[in-house]
Amino acid sequence: MRVIDRPTEDLDGQTRRPSPWSREGLVPNPPEEASPADDEAGRRGHRHVAERRRNGAVSMLRETVIILVSALVLSLVVKTFLIQAFFIPSPSMHDTLVEDDRILVSKLTPGPFDLRRGDIVVFKDPGGWLNGAAEPELTGVNKAVREVLTFIGLYPQDAGEHLVKRVIGLPGDRVVCDKACQEQGGPITVNGVPLDEPYIAPGARPSEVPFDVVVPADSLWVMGDNRQRSFDSRYNMGKPGGGSVPVANVVGTAFVTVWPLDRAGLLRNPSATFEDVPDAS
């Protein structure tokens, strides 16, 4: 009997074709050798990536410089025209302001806005008020904060030459504490109207020093809230200006306490205290 060699058939009658793959398994094609053209293309790609990285670094550096310069310019504008920071070194404004409080001062007053009785103002020493008193030396965090604020222009280099007090009399006002006021512990009068001063420190009297002054033109009569611990207009009546502060010396009005956080808050004008005081005649 002869056996005919022919392709085997599946059970469904279809012809099974021999597999083109070897029985030992799949063998990958050998890698092709890179041509000189491929090497040059690769080098160009690497150069392009490196160039993009350099451009990105230059762009980031340029943007950083722009941001820093803009921040310094903005801080200079703010310091010059809008806001300046100060700290409180003495107890003269207790309990409204206490030692080491940080306040912000609006430089729009005096200027676009008028000064009002009751405003808390920061002003440069008119001459001899500080008597050469040295500013207390700071250490640690306080020193670091001061240096940062000074560097960015929000703290004045000459902060030790400034004082902070409350405006009691405007130009032309007559401010009086007579003998009865001195002996009875108040009240002070402005243009004949007695003042109820809720901002005075607990236990302090309106004034233990008698005075009767008419505030000169373009000047202010200022007093601390802690009257018995404040070297203010009352104690400088023998100096030029008769104890009054030239408006030109005023840096601005304090409007907020920013540090420490547990004392942060707005410094509001006690308008009710002065609402019945008439304008100077």
Determine which helix (DSSP H) or strand (DSSP E) holds 40, and give its type and residue range.
helix 36-77
> Please, what's the b/e burial string for 173-211 (b: 16 or more CB within 10 A of its CB; e: otherwise)?
bbbbbeeebbeeebbbbbbeeebebeebbeebebbeeeb
How far is residue 71's CA from residue 77's CA, in Å, rounded to a whole number?
10
124 is a catalytic site residue: no
Please pick, among 79, 90, 106, 165, the residue that the annotation labels catalytic.
165
The HSE-up count of residue 128 (CA atoms within 13 Å, CB side) is 11
92 is a catalytic site residue: yes
SS3 42: helix
SS3 251: strand
Distances (CA, A) of 122 to 2, 5, 63, 249: 125, 116, 38, 9
DSSP state of 139: -
Q: Kindly give the pairing relationship between strand 245-246 and strand 219-223.
A: antiparallel
Please pick, among 92, 207, 230, 244, the residue that the annotation labels catalytic.
92
Distances (CA, A) of 213 to 116, 188, 220: 18, 12, 11
Distances (CA, A) of 49 to 42, 46, 143: 11, 5, 47
Give me the torsion for CA of 117, 208, 251, 135, rounded to 10°. -160
Q: Which residues are catalytic?
A: 92, 165
